[in-house]
Amino acid sequence: MIPYGRQAISQEDIAVVVEVLNSDFLTQGPRVPAFENALAKRTTAQHAVAVSNATAALHLACLALDLGPGDYLWTTPITFVASANCGRYCGAKIDFVDIDPETFNMSPKALEDKLRRAEREGTVPAVIVVVHMCGQSPEMDRISTLARSYGIKIIEDASHAIGALYQGKPVGCGEYSDITVFSFHPVKIITTAEGGAALTNDRTLAERMRSLRSHGITRDERLMTKSSDGPWYYQQLELGFNYRMTDIQAALGVSQLAHLDDFLSRRQDIADCYDELLKDLPIDLPGRLEGAVSSWHLYVVRLKNASDHLEVFTRLRADGIGVNLHYIPVHLQPYYRALGFNAGDYPVSEDYYSRAISVPIYPKLSAAEQREVTNSITTALSL
């Protein structure tokens, strides 16, 4: 089976992990801040907070922005459920903005229309989570201008998009948002096995997220409510979580980050090759936003005819092509249906779901394997 995604682990990666295993620190040692510094340098952000996974990063970002009961969080339906669930963890209400049919990202026009209605109805969100679907940035300049005109905070869910560019700047630089979140799950661009990070240019937000990722505990006497009892002393200042990244994971992250440009180059080559090999087939290829350079976490094609969706998907799997579907619209999940969402609420997202197939893309995908994928797609579409 050729999977849709796969990590690329080198002997160098293995060696640095073994080095940490033989060291004095397995959890909170020097490798975590080293990884944070490397992330900040790569993205030009002022602060990076490494955590156990991207869902934890989203949750901490919402808490740091003071999202709470009575507030609204908006995101898009075409994303993993974590982009919405982070708001529910804080007691917020969730709503969605439909996608652009070509980029699969939040539609600025749909956002503008929905904000006008929300202003009249008193339901303007406190936070918008803007997903970088497949690794391509949305139109962040338009989205940011709209959000800021309403006083809305922005989280970029760039779980797919480390290494991507927008308007010539790294995704994660913080120009268009308050906090940016990355994922380092094995099928993402780089991996720490599990892991995530939240990046910001706001020191106060970074310090809050660092506190919350470790039970709300501090050893900084400047923040304590009384003088320290001794060198062992710490205080819990608020209810936090155990969302820490280990030194083992961080060491792998530093090593992987050193190869990021190679990974990105290979993914770009594969995407360009798919564009050429599939251009004459009866499918819609992924759109490319002017001014954005995707990291190509996913390559999603859409069938012309939704009625062929299940059959084509099943045939490809039977051929040993590990296609997948990213994602089932969040509002159609039973949990969100129980909150009042229904089929037909977000028609562009639902049309996408009815026709989308994620085909294999990862750095070690060989030219022969890519030809096998495209030949299987061609055969499946002709039956």
What does 124-148 look like in DSSP terms, one character per residue?
A: --SEEEEE-GGG----HHHHHHHHH
Q: What percent of the chain has pLDDT over 70?
A: 100
Length of the chain: 383
Side chain identity, residue 100:
D
Reported as a pLDDT band with limits 50, 70 and 90, residue 295 is very high
Strands (DSSP E) along the chain, which ranges? 2-3, 47-51, 72-75, 93-96, 127-131, 153-157, 165-166, 169-170, 179-183, 196-200, 217-218, 235-236, 283-284, 292-293, 299-303, 321-322, 356-359
CA dist 341 → 117, 166, 335 (Å):
17, 32, 9
CATH of region 260-382: 3.90.1150.10
Over its C-alpha atoms, the chain yields an Rg (Å, rounded) of 21
- Average pLDDT for 108-119: 98
The pLDDT of residue 28 is: 86
CB-CB neighbours of 277 under 10 Å? 16
127-131 and 153-157 strand pairing = parallel
- Non-local (6+) Cβ contacts of 248 within 8 A are 17, 20, 21, 26, 31
Reported as a pLDDT band with limits 50, 70 and 90, residue 383 is confident
Which segments of the chain belong to CATH 3.40.640.10? 2-257
Reported as a pLDDT band with limits 50, 70 and 90, residue 44 is very high
Helix, strand, or coil (residue 77): coil
- Residue 299 in contact with residue 274, Cβ under 8 Å? yes
Spatial separation of the C-alpha atoms in residues 322 and 341, rounded to whole Å? 31
CA dist 365 → 28, 166, 315, 359 (Å):
35, 26, 20, 11
Between the CA atoms of 202, 203, 204 and 209, what dihedral angle is there, to the nearest 10 degrees? 90
- Non-local (6+) Cβ contacts of 279 within 8 A are 285
User: Does pLDDT of 265 surpass 90?
Assistant: yes
- Non-local (6+) Cβ contacts of 130 within 8 A are 75, 76, 105, 106, 138, 140, 143, 154, 155, 156, 157, 177
- Residue 328 in contact with residue 343, Cβ under 8 Å? no
Mean pLDDT taken over the chain: 97
- Residue 115 in contact with residue 150, Cβ under 8 Å? yes
Between the CA atoms of 249, 188, 343 and 153, what dihedral angle is there, to the nearest 10 degrees? 70
Spatial separation of the C-alpha atoms in residues 375 and 364, rounded to whole Å? 19
The pLDDT of residue 75 is: 98
Spatial separation of the C-alpha atoms in residues 260 and 197, rounded to whole Å? 16
Of residues 293 and 27, the one with the higher pLDDT is 293
- Residue 282 in contact with residue 39, Cβ under 8 Å? no
Over the stretch 74-99, which tens digit does the pLDDT of each residue have? 999 999 999 999 999 999 999 999 99
- Average pLDDT for 315-323: 98
- Average pLDDT for 142-153: 98
Q: Which fold has domain 2-257?
A: Aspartate Aminotransferase; domain 2 (3.40.640)
User: Does pLDDT of 346 surpass 80?
Assistant: yes
User: Does pLDDT of 176 surpass 80?
Assistant: yes
Query: What global pTM score does this model have?
Result: 0.97
